[in-house]
Chain A
């Protein structure tokens, strides 16, 4: 069983919704990411989503765009990101790590070389935002062959036929984009998400994560009752940006926010 499947099974048994924080690797600089990853786990994260910085992140809002710019200013490469995962794995063998990013840096690395290096580093899943199932080969096949899960997005604009196709291609979990917009947008409609998740549930037995626009503990708690995982990105990255020049405060503040999310989600399920 993959580390992701195992983690989702554990959460389910414990009656808990997985909390999946996102950070951009190399933001605000390369040395920050691994301590941040450990701090997130300590604060209650079940799965980590690690963003691979890209120069043209078209699906991301301003907060994550700026995180990419900071990471790239310090020359963060995909090889650096994989090195971060390896370093994290040396101390944490249990928390799944999903890379989230865009296709071009993976192709520049070489897809085969990337999949091999990612598997060796201890990556568990790869979400390539601008790679729909129609264009997913050869990457999805290469990932599966090495036991890594290709993770795909579902959106409010996804019709029934696509929903089926995506769920057949995906592994690990599917990620429902809660709104029509980019990451960090402000128009999440909880009731609409609930309705959509019902049709996703009818289509797949994969765990379903919800993200894009989860900005506070209150929203995370509302989603906790309907999803298997809640992904929180911009709200965390925004705090990293705010405290980028006070490293110790940054870990404390981010940790405190994640703890708050954790408690609210657990309370909602209790």
Chain B
């Protein structure tokens, strides 16, 4: 039996209705790209709209989500972590159990199927942690696309295992040496490739950012996370959860979990990378510490200097190390529907160990941010309350980072 909605919710317009036709979430989103890309993004929008309503496309997507990705991912009650925190019951949405080890594959698969429908032969992608690159390289192998992944040189060093995985899958990994040599520069480079090769190339963006329709389309491909979690918690507990927690880099795993619950009386928490602390300036907390601006095709919150130049960011987790965030999150922040907060590198590391030791589940450092926040939140809640945290990925890729932080040479 689900809890009745708050009175106000039923009188409000649905929060799930956006974006508008121009791709806007309030003042955010839109299309801010050079004219050369305006035609291609419009073609993409039209193709996506068609596939979204096409039963064959949806059936093919559902079949692969089930048989290839392994969906639905389990909703797991973390009993020992719950006992440790002495508060709300903590459920983990196990996106780490998906094929390739993170939520990223939901979106990569959807876009690859769309690319196939559009007759493209080449997939390109940007990647930070390497998870989206691996997911794209994987679906490229699955469908027989050529695949090129752009990755900042700095990230290639800290995610060496994923670089090798992509190569094994047949992808070409191109090191990006411009700017800060991280995710944002990889995105710049992928956009440049796309402009030049738009006739045969599909750009698989890895998060809910970029020009319209990307933020909407990537959200839709990840919305299965929240739709499943909603059904799973209803059947396990007979009611909706009290709170959801997810880490926010670009925001895809978070919006994927949140979207099905936007109109419900459920508190939503997005956790950004606090790095070495907000005061240090070394962080990637665009929503918490940034301001509105335009980058990578959309208007959103950005980390930038006084002159509007994009700042270098820092996080122990490459997947959160991004100076922007998806425009839907910018809007959800402004209307107060989601609370955005930060977790530092060292708090994330502690949570990495806590989950590993208490549950035998090694989280990605990105997901460890959400776990750390949950461990602060749970003790403030009653034992009969429920939190669902999105365990967006598994931690194998981060073992070297964790070890080197502890002074261990592997």
Contact = CB atoms under 8 A, between A and B. Distances in A.
Contact of A107 (B39, B197, B294): B294
Contact of B309 (A55, A130, A157, A187): A55
B196 A181 contact: yes
Nearest to A175: B35
A158 B30 CA distance: 18
B32 A135 contact: yes
A35 B9 CA distance: 63
A109 B294 CA distance: 13
B246 to A, nearest CB: 26
Contacts of A267: none
A58 B294 contact: no
A153 B307 CA distance: 25
Contacts of A58: 33-34, 188, 191-192, 296
Contacts of B32: 103, 130-132, 135
Interface in A141-188: 152-159, 162, 166, 177, 180-182, 185, 187
A72 B35 CA distance: 25
B46 to A, nearest CB: 12
A185 B193 CA distance: 11
B198 interface: yes
A134 interface: yes
Contact of B179 (A56, A107, A131, A157): A56
A65 interface: yes
A180 B201 CA distance: 13
A162 B39 CA distance: 9
Contacts of A241: none
Contact of B35 (A57, A104, A154): A154
Contacts of B383: none
Contact of A132 (B33, B179, B185, B295): B33
Nearest to B43: A157
Interface in B1-58: 22, 30-40
B30 A134 contact: yes
Given A61-B192, A130-B33, A131-B32, A157 B293 contact: no
A263 interface: no
B35 A56 contact: no
B196 A177 contact: no
Contacts of A134: 22, 30-31
B192 A106 contact: no
Central interface residue in A65, A69, A132, A162, by most chain B CB within 10 Å: A132
Given A106-B308, A166-B35, A181 B179 contact: no
Given A130-B33, A158-B38, A180-B198, A56 B307 contact: no
Nearest to B32: A130
A108 B191 contact: no
Nearest to B311: A55
Contacts of B37: 157
User: Which secondary structure dominates chain B's binding surface?
Assistant: mixed
A56 B39 contact: no
A120 B304 CA distance: 27
B302 interface: yes
Nearest to A132: B38
A108 B304 CA distance: 9
Interface in B289-334: 293-297, 302, 304, 306-310
B184 interface: yes
Contacts of B308: 54, 78, 104-109
B178 interface: yes
B352 to A, nearest CB: 31
A109 B200 CA distance: 39
A185 B178 CA distance: 17
Interface in A90-133: 102-109, 129-132
Nearest to A102: B294
B61 to A, nearest CB: 28
Contacts of A106: 308
A51 B309 CA distance: 14
A59 B188 CA distance: 8
B77 interface: no
B31 A135 contact: yes
Contacts of A55: 179, 309-310
Interface of B: 22, 30-40, 178-179, 184-185, 188, 191-192, 195-199, 293-297, 302, 304, 306-310
Given A132-B31, A135-B31, 12 more contacts: A56-B310, A58-B188, A58-B296, A61-B192, A69-B179, A108-B308, A109-B307, A135-B32, A155-B38, A158-B35, A159-B39, A182-B195
17 contacts: A54-B308, A57-B188, A59-B34, A59-B192, A77-B307, A104-B308, A108-B307, A108-B308, A134-B22, A135-B31, A153-B34, A155-B36, A157-B35, A159-B39, A162-B35, A182-B196, A187-B196
**A-B pairs with lowest CB-CB distance, top 5:** A108-B308, A157-B39, A105-B308, A153-B35, A155-B36
